[in-house]
Structure 1
Amino acid sequence: MTSTHTPADGVVASGVSIFADALDAQAVPVSRVDWRPPMEGTADDLATVATDPLRVDANRRAAEAMMAVQAMIVDVAPASEVLGLEKGQFLHAGPPLAWENASGPMRGALMGAAALEALVDDPEDAEALFASGQSVSLEPCHHRSAVGPMAGVVSPSMWMWVLEDPTDGRRTYCSLNEGLGKVLRYGAYGPEVLERLRWMSDVLGPLLSKAVRGSEPVNATSILGQMLQMGDEAHNRNRAGTLMLMRDLAPAMVNSGADAADIAKVFEFMGGNDHFFLNVAMPACKLALDAARGIEGSTMVVAMARNGTEFGIQTAGTGDEWFTGPAQIADGLYLGGYGPDDANPDIGDSAITETAGIGGFAMATAPAIVRFVGGSVPDALATTRRMREITLAENDRWPIPVLDFMGTPTGIDVTKVCRTGVLPQINTGMAGRVAGTGQVGAGLVTPPAEIFPKALAALAARTRARQS
């Protein structure tokens, strides 16, 4: 279907491009409008939600609440203390998941975590433990105000970043970043993985705890704003953010009284891991988005998360309900001899960054990211502009210099996604599909399209119930 309108200075055309192309060939000035029909089967629900008298104000309040949050780093402590995790309890990324449906990297991460907690001597023995379901339990990180990158597995002895909003005392949590390659979050569980995790629990966590408790709270939201102007997009590129975090914590580490060799090792570990700040950026984004939860009538997405099998979203107006579909395999660049057949479907809570308006939504701030995830510099700029079509606001705290300091597109609107067919763009790492493999690449991915009509249907049902 195509429509045309003839103004005084030319033709405006939307729809099938053949008509605009024909006019171009005849030297007729044409203004092209990128029009797309709504997603199939959403017309009635879109019409219902459009009539909801709560929607406009609810979305305004949701976006404002999210953007008003200041995320402060206030502590680093074991998950057993801050999350109440007990022996045999494990958190994971994404929507709820049963062991029998877990992907290779999720299984690998859980097996490694079981060995870390001394539930088994050999990670391989953990398969039978999880299959039996005895003395172990699985729960999404999001259900405990936490987030985890990739497999996102958290066990009681792992140390967590603790972030707090000083206005209301709400807190969110995330584990410490291990680095890239063969690491637990990518499903690896070899001896070197467990040795690193034990060092993180014995040395890194306690030293970070001393540094955080021995200094003024670090403003993670402020660091995010600065790093976006320094070439990071805060999902797959966190180099500037990591260095700024080190700058803020280094004096307290040096003055902590800890062994000098341990301090040097921690500096080496953090400085050699450009992704270290990711595990601060994620809970900062969750803390902001959780401020919008429970606003009746809001169509704003407050979580996007993947468990390696399913991709799920939650919205401000539908409580804790998950809307899920099959996770997709990213399109990107592979390490070494790996290829598409080696990659697991998308996994991790790290899409919380895109949900908040950074990561893939802020690719224009980090054109160098295309060398890691694929695409081109013009693609990066176009992606950020395109995300404006499906969001409620621009976040002035996170301006984009190359786009004349436009704020990042923020607040994904389910109705706009269903009306335009434009899907959120996510930058992601890729885990090997076989447990124990580790990282195989990085790339770009979008959610399965069907989850947005599912969320829209639930929002429409609530609207009809209120109107009846």
Structure 2
Amino acid sequence: MTSAEHVVGVGAGLLADAVEAQAAGVTRVDWRPPMPGTEDDLVAVAADARRRAANEQALAAVLGVTAHLVDVGPASEVLGLERGEFLHAGPPIGWDRASGPLRGALMGGAALEGLVDDPEDAAALFEAGSVSLEPCHHRRTVGPMAGVVTPSMWVFVLEDPATGARTHCTLNEGLGKVLRYGAYAPEVLERLRWMGAVLGPLLRDAVRAAGPVDVTGILTQMLQMGDEAHNRNRAGTLMLLRDLSPAMVASGVPSSDVAEALRFVGGNDHFFLNLAMPACKLALDAARGVPGSTMVVAMARNGTDFGIQVSGTGDEWFTGPAQLADGLYLGDYGPEDANPDIGDSAITETAGLGGFAMATAPAIVRFVGGSVPDALATTRRMHEITLGENPRWTIPVLDFRGVPTGIDVTRVCRTGILPQINTGMAGRVAGVGQVGAGLVTPPAEVFPKALARLAELAATADVIRSAGPDRRNV
């Protein structure tokens, strides 16, 4: 109590309400207890002398990157993928633990590569271990939903002109029955073959003719136009067409192919997602490997596990069970039909977009559920667990405040607030495809796991500093 007339209320609002009812002034403090069992680790990490400067360095690295689309090419050439090599979304996983949609996408990918004639026959290949599985993130790549990348698939190539660093992502197939949602019907494979034979080469020629496309700049504009760059990319897709369509028309490719490509991209509001994702990864990869930094540089899901990576802990994954999203379902589908969360697309939230920028895209609630006030509140809440804001990506309705950027493991553990993710929902059975879209958070336990590792590293660094220049006994 600060005076006879004024009270500071901490935590639950019930007592503060009672005091206000007696005409006394109340200052409410939104305090939450830390996640259970994290108290000692929070103290250890807070005492790390490197932490403040390390986080400032990591955040500055993210904000300093600009992503440009510089090329498009087959994964065999761009990523060096060989026959029988498959990339997938999320942390590492084997066929034995793979979810239905991931299995479906891998089976379809095997048929696409000619390893089997019928996708149903592909399970034996993966059970025998005669093909390899590797996370997209391990090849500087991201993949939406199942995230399966095979050698013949074409990928976008994004580059930061200041450093020459590059990231990659496949071309977006659209919604519904598509490979990334685990579908592998003949029409799914036919579409992918057309994308490899017609769309990919046409986009490559257009990008090379028109010059690099400023993807970061498009992201800046689309946030002002009602997109949040995860589940709403309508403005971004149309701006990409604005930049590339003249070169596509002038390419010399038969007009029927150009028309089909323009119709496909223009009719697929999610097409730009596959550029937003590698743009976010490019920025976050710049912050990897900063000793002492508690900033999250990746969140990813494989349909079984949800994993995060942290700047100060290298390439180590901290995992927990993927969660089932809460949202809206297509047709007669319901929660019993949905697979737990899947995909690398949470890289957008990791960079401050998607669920973190819901306030800039109120119309998104019609796709993922919730209400407009919920969207505004979500963005405000994400500011409580991040290190700063992105002045390039701003939110008009919040007086052009920058999106919350740089998820801080310590702030998540200290407040118990989990990152909010907008997501699509894949059917749990291989071959079904998309069943809905909604909202989800990571499993809470991944953040205490990362915090414990940060505390171990902080203790090691403290021992080394204490030893001084003579480290022979450390």
Aligned twin of 1:300: 295
Structure 1 residues 9 and 165, CA gap change in structure 2 (3 angstroms): farther
The answer to whether the 8 A contact 2:5-2:24 is kept is no
Counterpart for residue 305 of structure 2: 310
Paired residues for 1:2-13 under 5 Å: 5-7=1-3, 10-13=6-9
Match of 1:145 in 2: 140
Alignment partner for residue 259 of structure 2, among 254, 258, 264? 264
Specify the code of the residue in structure 1 equivalent to 2:302: N
Give 2:84's aligned residue.
Answer: 88
Distance in 2, matches of 1:318 and 1:86, equals: 30
Q: TM-score, normalised by structure 1?
A: 0.98
* 2:467 counterpart residue number: none
Q: Residue deviations 1:366-403, cap 9 Å, x none?
A: 00000000000000000000000000011000010000
Name which of 13, 18, 42 aligns with 2:14.
18
Identical pairs, percent: 76
Aligned-partner SS, 1:75: strand
- Give 3-state SS (helix, strand or coil) of 2:8's partner: strand
The aligned residue for residue 75 of structure 2 is 79
Task: Normalising by structure 2, report the TM-score.
Answer: 0.97
Q: Distance in 2 between matches of 1:81 and 1:360?
A: 34
One of 428, 432, 445 as aligned partner of 2:440: 445
CA distance in 2, matches of 1:232, 1:115: 35
Q: What letter corresponds to residue 114 of structure 2 in structure 1?
A: A
- 2:117 is matched with which residue? 121
| Distance across 1 between alignment mates of 2:245 and 2:23 | 64
Give 1:33 shift.
Answer: 1.6
The structure-2 alpha-carbon separation of the partners of 1:401 and 1:8, relative to structure 1 and needing over 3 Å to count, comes to: farther
Amino acid across the alignment from 2:63: M
Could you say if the C-alpha distance between residues 32 and 324 of structure 1 is closer, same or farther in structure 2, counting changes exceeding 3 Å?
Answer: same
Counterpart position of 2:418? 423
Find the counterpart in structure 1 of residue 214 from structure 2. Answer: 219
Q: Deviation digits for residues 189-234 of structure 1, max 9, x if unmatched? A: 0001000000000000000000001112001001001000000000
Instruction: Give the root-mean-square deviation of aligned CA atoms.
Output: 0.8
Change (3 A) 1:298 1:81: same
Q: CA deviation at 1:9?
A: 6.1
1:61 partnered with 2:51: no
Q: Determine the structure 1 residue equivalent to 2:227.
A: 232
Once the two structures are superposed, residues 322-361 of structure 1 have per-residue CA deviations (whole angstroms, 9 ceiling, x without a partner) of 0000000000000000000000000000000000000000
Give the SS at the match of 1:433.
Answer: coil
**Aligned counterpart, 1:105:** 101
Q: What secondary structure, in the 3-state scheme, does the structure 2 residue paired with 1:336 have?
A: coil
1:385 aligns with 2:380: yes
Q: Distance in 1 between matches of 2:301 and 2:14?
A: 39
Alpha-carbon distance, 1:11 to partner? 1.9
Number of residues paired by the alignment?
463
The residue identity in structure 2 corresponding to 1:103 is S
Of residues 229, 249, 255, the one that matches 2:244 is: 249
Which residue identity does 2:68 align to in structure 1? M
**Structure 2 residue identity aligned to 1:105:** P
Question: Helix, strand or coil: the match of 2:173?
Answer: coil
Structure 2 letter corresponding to 1:48: A
Q: Distance in 2 between matches of 1:92 and 1:6?
A: 57
Report deviation, 1:243: 0.2
Distance 1:182 1:30 in 2: 55
The equivalent of 1:190 in structure 2 is: 185
Unaligned runs of 5+ in 1: none
| Map of 1:42 onto structure 2 | 38
1:51 and 2:51 are equivalent in the alignment: no
